[in-house]
Structure 1
Amino acid sequence: MSSKSIKITGWALTAVLGLLFAFSAFLKISQNEAAIAQASAIGINAHTYRLIGLVEITSLILFLVPRTAIIGAFFLIAYMGGAIATHLQHQQPVGMAIGVQVVLWITIAVRFPDLLQRVFSPNLTTH
């Protein structure tokens, strides 16, 4: 695969994740009635749910900006980990959350191959 194809793939995956997280954050921030009802069912009040939406959109913005994308990626990974834990705690399906987490990791691997190489390199030396 050419460098250009890899770059396009990375940004296409980023766009898909961006739309997904933006929609999710919008439902939380706008206090969508169905979303609030779902959150209330697991003990999350409307104010806390709005704060979660603000954390989500902030993390997404950091992920979309090339200069801050790695820290944004780490925040989104942590965010999804919390979502998975919450779903598990309340005996809710986790397939979608795990799927988003997998796509997020794939996107990171495609967009930041040097990061992937650093993480999995057996020849790391410290200075």
Structure 2
Amino acid sequence: MSQKTIKITGWALTILLALLFTMSAFMKLTQNQAAITQASSIGIDAGTYLFIGIIEIISLILFLIPRTAILGTLLLVAYMGGAIVTHLQHQESIAMAVIIQIVLWVTAFIRFPELKQRLLTPKN
């Protein structure tokens, strides 16, 4: 693949993830009744849900800014890890959260070859 194709793919996946996390954070920040009901069914109150939305949007902003994107990536990976654990704890499907986590890692490896090299290259 050419450098241009790799760059376009990385940014296309970044935009896809940004839209997804923006929608998710928006539902938390606006205290959407359906989202609050779902959160309360697993023991998360409205105030905590709002705080989770703030964390999500801050992580997303860091992910979108090239200078802080690796930090944002790691924060979003941790956030999705928490979502996976929460779903597992309440016997809910983790399929969507795992798919998002995979897309997040693929996007990180495309956008930040140095991260891929550091994580996947064996030490000598």
TM-score by length of 1: 0.95
Superposition map of 1:37-116 within 5 A: 37-116=37-116
**Could you say which residue in structure 2 is the equivalent of 1:9?**
9
Identity percentage over the alignment? 63
SS of the equivalent of 1:44 reads coil
- AA of the residue aligned to 1:47: G
1:20-57 Cα shifts (integer Å, max 9, x gaps): 00000000000000000000000000000000000000
Distance in 2 (CA, whole Å) between partners of 1:42 and 1:114 is 38
Aligned residue in 1 for 2:36: 36
Residue segments in structure 1 that go unaligned for 5+ positions in a row: none
State the superposition RMSD in angstroms: 0.8
**What is the Cα deviation at residue 122 of structure 1?**
2.1
SS in 1 for 2:91: coil
Deviation at residue 114 of structure 1 after TM alignment: 1.6
1:88-118 Cα shifts (integer Å, max 9, x gaps): 0000110000000000000001001121112
Structure 2 gap ranges (5+): none
In the superposition, the TM-score normalised over structure 2's length comes to 0.98
Q: Number of aligned pairs?
A: 124
Structure 1 moving runs of 4+ over 4 Å: none
